[in-house]
Structures are given as C-alpha cells and as structure tokens.
Amino acid sequence: MDSASLLTLQSAQTSAGISAQKTATSALAAKGQDHGKLGLDFESMVLSQLISPMFEGLSSDGPFGGGEGEEAMKSFYIDAIGKEMAKHGGVGISAMMQKELLKLQGAQ
C-alpha cells in the first residue's frame, strides 16, 4: 500500500470518527444533556495522560530552552495536544462514552 492510499484511508477514518461524535453529541443535545462535552473532556484527559510519558526525559538546549518556565508550561502543552487529538476524532473513547450515556438515559 503506498503512502497516498494510506493517507486517504486515515483521512476517511478520522472523518468517520468526527461524524460519529457529532451524531452522538447532537442526539444528546436533543435530550437536553451536554454529555458530548463531558465525553470530549474525558477523552482529552485520557489522551493527555497517555502522551505525557513521551515528554519525560526530554532535554531542551539552546538560548531559550530549559529552565523552570519550560517545566511549568509543559503540562499545559500536553493538555492542549490531548484536547486537539480528542477534537479531531481521538481514539473513540468519547463516542463510546456518549453511546453508553444514551443507553443509561433510555433505561431511566
């Protein structure tokens, strides 16, 4: 499989994930619940925790690298990456969580 086909497949999967999240979010919004935001927040938190070990042990050299400021801001950067990943399809935690919340609301 060439790289162009792989990128096309990845783009289609991402679009399908975003579409599924929007569908679940709109269904929840119709019921007057904001579980879509709850699902995205939870998924972004999980993704942030999953990627944070990638940044451990990295050293920054150069005129603007390193120091206490960088250490303090690293967690904000990791959280921002997690939010963007969740917003653009994530790994499916948000859609799964929204689906389960809809089931629970139907049972009540």
pLDDT tens-digit series, residues 30-77: 554 566 788 888 889 999 999 999 988 777 765 667 777 777 788 899
Higher pLDDT, 86 or 59: 86
Cα–Cα distance, 65 to 61 (Å, whole number): 5
What's the total number of domains in the chain? Answer: 1
State residue 45's pLDDT score. Answer: 92
**Is pLDDT above 90 for 3?**
no
Angle, CA 75 vertex, CA 73 and CA 77 arms, to 5°: 70
Cα–Cα distance, 24 to 104 (Å, whole number): 14
User: What CA dihedral angle connects 64, 69, 74 and 80, to 10 degrees?
Assistant: -90
Give the structural domain span for 30: 3-107
Q: Is the dihedral of CA 74, 79, 84, 86 positive or negative?
A: positive
